[in-house]
Structure 1
Amino acid sequence: MNKFTGFSDLCVPYNSSTKELLGILKELDELGFKNVAIEQIYNHDNCDKKGDPIPAPVDLRTLSKELSGRLRLLNRLTIVYTEGNVTLITTRSAKLRGYHLVAVVPITEDAFQHACQTMSCDIISYNSDTVRIKMSRKFYFVAVNRNIMFEIKYAPAIVNSNDRKDIINRAHKYHSYGKSKNVIISSEARDRFQVRGPYDIANLGLIFGLSEEQSKNAILALPRKVLINADARRHGKAGVVISVRQGAVDSDDYSDSEVNEPISDSDEEESEEMDPDEDMQSDDGQEPPLKIAKI
């Protein structure tokens, strides 16, 4: 089973220049990252709606071969949209199934509410035009309960001072609206010099209003969680526990004596005395303990 272990960067924009893209990926590999998502963007408002307008996923085999398989490369689609009718495209798209992750950038407040409540996605992100969009505490927690992550991208904050102010402002909104729950940190690095290591990112997390533990989880535990949830969404996976009792007979055929046999009071009393929480002890919805790397 794929555990998606190690540090993750879930947003590296696709670059048609393989040399430049490989430079970023090699830098991430040297800094200790294990899972990297290559981002492609679909702007629903500007694209032709005929056919399947979603771009085909990048073939990652060549990149993976160049890296000797040291990085687990993933396809990510970021959908920029205004209206909820984008779901008419996403539900019918055959290309969408080729993406490991689906992120959304809601342009309006209504689109943000739609993303939190309805949209089938893994990450809610932003761009330079939507970084200051108004959010709601109510819908923030709706998204949290749906295991959707909120993204902070640090590379634009390093490159541009205006972007830095906007990103810090958005990060502090995450804190004021939802105590920075379900916040992940990605790079959106467009060249290798914009990439930072896990230690530096953890320190940046403090500037973004995250606690020390949240900063670590933003590049380790929470990306792992979103990757597992995304994998389950794509394949429709579910956990099933099957227990087999010794001596049980797998048959639907019963004799007349078994059908007509009365239920004894002792059987009823024994059923009533069962602990109702007994079967729920291992079904608390929590993931197995994760050993967090010390950074």
Structure 2
Amino acid sequence: MFYDLNVPWAPTSPDLSRTVAFLSELGYDVIALSHIHSGKFPQSQLNPIPENPFPKHPNLRILRRITVILDDPSQNHRLAALTSAYDIVALRPANEKLLLQACKELDCDLISVDLSQRMGYHFKHKTVGLAIQRGVFLEINYSASINDITARRNLIGNAAALIRATRGRGIVISSEARKALGVRGPFDVINLATLWGLSQDKGREAVDGLPRLVVAQAKLKRNSFRGVIGVVVNEPLQGNKRKAEDEAGPSDQLKSEASLEDNKKAGAPPKLSKRARKALARASKS
């Protein structure tokens, strides 16, 4: 299965439906429509993307994603609430300090840096390694570099630097295509990844295995608060004691026998359980 986890959501644009149709024709099985958010969050965060916006493509699984432009640390406390509203939560840090914070501790599924722009810092293995250790993946988007020479130059250099910093691990490749002309087929993307320094196998993982893992982990995180809580019904005290005695293993029986022997040596009468006393009473009556 092939994935494109970043297709910008533009409901008023006719290009969106064409892009989705073209992705399906190229062989993609799962795509994520991305709502881009910048600034502070409202008190009630609503997902503007409907659950099934393109029913004409039944074989295409469509996920809903939010990409948060992270340029203010005050946004961080609302990120956890987004998990229940979207299938995928991605962050786009605006500077190195926010990138470090996103890699180290922020609640998200993807970190998507705009690599088509000139970076004001260098990627460090120590920084991006924090994200990989937490199971957070780093995303490379290729569409902006298709028709822009400067963006292409920046993307090649920045993607190569990111791949070196991550040692080729934890990389997911998406299109971020706003038009159908900005999309490439899965195998073209794999070949493109080799120009950045990924092997063919790693390139395949970037559009197949790792995006699948992103989706699975995000679903697990989203449903974790709905976990089943086991309720134990209180039994009568006598029933609990009887059940405990019935389920006592050999080691428990040996401990009981040892306790009786100690009582005998001390000259004290042995302590009998309630069950044993009842059995003794029945035996004396008969």
Shorter-normalised TM-score: what interval? Answer: 0.7 to 0.9
SS in 1 for 2:157: helix
Q: 1:277 is matched with which residue?
A: none
Of 174, 179, 184, the match for 1:191:
179
Is the CA contact (8 Å cut-off) linking 2:6 and 2:175 kept in structure 1?
Answer: yes
Q: 1:100 is matched with which residue?
A: 87
- Give the letter for the 2:11 counterpart: S
Of 127, 130, 142, the match for 1:154:
142
1:7/1:170 CA distance change after superposition, 3 Å:
same
Q: 2:253 is matched with which residue?
A: 261
Deviates more, 1:124-133 or 1:158-167: 124-133
TM-score by length of 1: 0.74
- Give the letter for the 2:48 counterpart: P
Give deviations 1:190-209, integer Å, cap 9, x for gaps: 11111111111111011121
1:237/1:173 CA distance change after superposition, 3 Å:
farther
Is the CA contact (8 Å cut-off) linking 1:105 and 1:126 kept in structure 2?
Answer: yes
Q: 2:163 is matched with which residue?
A: 175
SS in 1 for 2:7: strand
Deviation at 1:129, TM superposition (A): 5.2
Q: Which whole-Å CA distance do the structure 2 matches of 1:89 and 1:255 have between them?
A: 52
Q: Which runs of 5+ in 1 are unaligned?
A: 1-5, 241-250, 265-295
Q: Which whole-Å CA distance do the structure 1 matches of 2:2 and 2:160 have between them?
A: 23
1:221/1:132 CA distance change after superposition, 3 Å:
farther
Q: Which runs of 5+ in 2 are unaligned?
A: 229-239, 257-286
Q: 1:66 is matched with which residue?
A: 56
Is the CA contact (8 Å cut-off) linking 1:107 and 1:130 kept in structure 2?
Answer: no
- Give the letter for the 2:50 counterpart: D
Deviation at 1:88, TM superposition (A): 1.8
Is the CA contact (8 Å cut-off) linking 2:68 and 2:91 kept in structure 1?
Answer: yes
Q: In the alignment, is residue 29 of structure 1 matched against residue 24 of structure 2?
A: yes
- Give the letter for the 1:75 counterpart: R
Deviation at 1:50, TM superposition (A): 5.0
Q: 2:276 is matched with which residue?
A: none
Is the CA contact (8 Å cut-off) linking 1:141 and 1:178 kept in structure 2?
Answer: yes
Q: Which whole-Å CA distance do the structure 1 matches of 2:119 and 2:66 have between them?
A: 19
Deviation at 1:136, TM superposition (A): 2.1
Q: 1:136 is matched with which residue?
A: 124
1:217/1:239 CA distance change after superposition, 3 Å:
farther
- Give the letter for the 1:89 counterpart: R
1:188/1:263 CA distance change after superposition, 3 Å:
same
Deviation at 1:213, TM superposition (A): 0.7
1:141/1:221 CA distance change after superposition, 3 Å:
same
Q: Which whole-Å CA distance do the structure 1 matches of 2:109 and 2:245 have between them?
A: 53
Question: Aligned Cα RMSD in Å?
Answer: 2.8
SS in 2 for 1:147: coil
Q: Which whole-Å CA distance do the structure 1 matches of 2:144 and 2:158 have between them?
A: 13
Q: 1:210 is matched with which residue?
A: 198
Q: In the alignment, is residue 89 of structure 1 matched against residue 78 of structure 2?
A: yes
Bigger share in helix: 2
Give deviations 1:49-91, integer Å, cap 9, x for gaps: 5524x5523014231x122x11100111011113433222223
Is the CA contact (8 Å cut-off) linking 1:150 and 1:182 kept in structure 2?
Answer: yes
Is the CA contact (8 Å cut-off) linking 1:57 and 1:75 kept in structure 2?
Answer: no
Q: 2:100 is matched with which residue?
A: 113
- Give the letter for the 1:205 counterpart: A
Deviates more, 1:154-163 or 1:31-40: 154-163
Q: Which whole-Å CA distance do the structure 2 matches of 1:130 and 1:102 have between them?
A: 24
**Equivalent residues, number:** 242
Q: Which has the larger radius of gyration?
A: 2
Deviates more, 1:251-260 or 1:81-90: 251-260
Q: Which whole-Å CA distance do the structure 2 matches of 1:214 and 1:257 have between them?
A: 53
SS in 2 for 1:102: strand
1:19/1:167 CA distance change after superposition, 3 Å:
same
SS in 2 for 1:189: coil
Q: 2:3 is matched with which residue?
A: 8
Is the CA contact (8 Å cut-off) linking 1:202 and 1:215 kept in structure 2?
Answer: yes
